[in-house]
Amino acid sequence: MNRLAFVLGSRGLKNTVARTLQVVRRFGIGPERMERRLMRYVDIVAAYNARPSLPITASVLDRNPQVAQRLVDHGAELCVHGLFHNDLSKLPDEEQRDQIAKAVEIFSRHGIAFRGFRSPYLRHNSAT
């Protein structure tokens, strides 16, 4: 499935551009700003003798496996959050299974243990 066509079809061009700009402003272009924020969050939670569960898409993990490993080493547990951050409930059953299987494979290939699954947007259907 063409990812760009899926995103544009589900969100529209105007919403896609607006969301892209919002994400860049909030998280930055590279992983550095988000990594600093997540590490700070892990430290805050650790002060209360707890560990955060952080959902991460496999495509992000695949681009930044060193960041994911540092988070795990620092005490976070990671959850599979899909292959991409797309609404799985809008995908056919077979495509959902394929994307989740590929996500699990990416976690495994990088040696990153995961603890569960959180569907993007918290949306699902009977196939999810």
pLDDT tens digits, residue range 43-102? Answer: 999 999 999 999 999 999 999 999 999 999 999 999 999 999 889 999 999 999 999 999
Handedness of CA 21, 27, 28, 29 (dihedral sign): negative
In 42-113, the DSSP E strands lie at 53-56, 77-80
User: pTM (2 decimals)?
Assistant: 0.77
Convert 84-100 to b/e letters by CB count within 10 Å (16 or more is b). Answer: bebbbbebeeeebeebb
Separation between Cα atoms, residue 97 and residue 94, nearest integer Å: 5
Q: What pairing do the DSSP bridges indicate for beta strands 77-80 and 53-56?
A: parallel
Mean pLDDT of the chain: 88
Two tokens, residue 76: 């976070």
